[in-house]
């Protein structure tokens, strides 16, 4: 599982990332990841309820995935997303690049998140199939197989009152359903992480690694001076003059 080095982010780490959208940060400095990125970039503030609310300079699939992670992560895990506050504004690219990013989020979620969940549930053949998927078509096919296989195992376990086994298998079925939609809706890729993290909490680090890789595809966001971003965020909190 990948990790992120947040050293050097001290000027903005007192900003609190919260689930949901927010009319304005206020003195507590609480927003979602995309709202924080808007403040850091010096753009006019807006509440973000979906990636469609983001400024056009934000990559839509990456903003959707980041927002999905933001809303699903436990409070203790959400600060991982601070590493991306300076990288979302200016990330928008051509349609083919955005499509490649969406494909990456979907494929990687099947290979690296759904696969270990299948393994935990004892569905080793399905875990191997998910891990070996190397394109979107194969990932979708593996997700469909995992959805069916997880559902069948969950039903069998419930009939035999094998509750733990059944809960894990049911999680596979639900998570695989989201994975099957992730190729057209990037936020569904975040639902894959949400479903798996109930049983595998370290998955949140892997989900952040997948976001990091998506940001490396195509146009990179322009550099934002960390001190300037911190000043903007403090101003939005009302701690210094705007």
**Separation of alpha carbons 139 and 141, rounded Å:** 5
Q: Are residues 190 and 238 in the same domain?
A: no
Q: Are residues 214 and 226 in the same domain?
A: no
Q: Are residues 178 and 202 in the same domain?
A: yes
Please write the tens of the pLDDT for every residue from 79-106. Answer: 899 889 999 999 999 999 999 999 999 9
Please write the tens of the pLDDT for every residue from 55-84. Answer: 999 999 999 999 999 999 999 999 899 889
3-state helix, strand, coil in the chain (%, to 5): 60, 0, 35
Total-model pTM: 0.91
Q: Are residues 24 and 108 in the same domain?
A: no
Q: Is 64 a member of any domain?
A: no
For residue 239, give the nearest of 169, 198, 231 by alpha carbon: 231
What total number of domains does the chain contain? 2
**Separation of alpha carbons 94 and 68, rounded Å:** 22
Residue 178: pLDDT band (50, 70, 90) is very high
Per-position b or e across 70-79, b if 16+ CB within 10 A of its CB: bbbbeeebbb
Q: Are residues 14 and 106 in the same domain?
A: no
Q: Is 184 a member of any domain?
A: yes
Q: Are residues 81 and 157 in the same domain?
A: no
């Amino acid at each position: 599982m990948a990790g992120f080095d947040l050293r050097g982010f001290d000027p903005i780490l007192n900003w609190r990332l919260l689930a949901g959208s927010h009319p304005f940060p206020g003195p507590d400095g609480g927003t979602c990841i995309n709202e924080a990125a808007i403040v850091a970039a010096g753009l006019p503030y807006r509440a973000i309820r979906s990636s469609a609310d983001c400024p056009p300079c934000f990559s839509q699939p990456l903003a959707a995935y980041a927002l999905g992670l933001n809303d699903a992560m436990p409070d203790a895990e959400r600060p991982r997303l601070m590493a991306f506050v300076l990288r979302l504004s200016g990330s928008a690219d051509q349609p083919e690049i955005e499509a490649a990013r969406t494909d990456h989020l979907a494929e990687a979620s099947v290979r690296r998140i759904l696969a270990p969940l299948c393994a935990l549930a004892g569905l080793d053949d399905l875990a191997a199939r998910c891990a070996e998927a190397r394109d979107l078509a194969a990932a979708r096919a593996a997700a469909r197989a995992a959805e069916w296989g997880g559902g069948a195992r969950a039903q069998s376990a419930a009939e035999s009152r094998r509750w733990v086994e059944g809960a894990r298998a049911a999680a596979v079925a639900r998570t695989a359903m989201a994975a099957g939609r992730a190729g057209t809706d990037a936020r569904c890729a975040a639902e894959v992480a949400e479903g798996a993290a109930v049983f595998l909490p370290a998955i949140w680090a892997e989900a952040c690694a997948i976001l990091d890789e998506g940001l490396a595809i195509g146009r990179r966001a322009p550099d934002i001076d960390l001190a300037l971003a911190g000043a903007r965020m403090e101003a939005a909190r009302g701690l210094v003059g705007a």
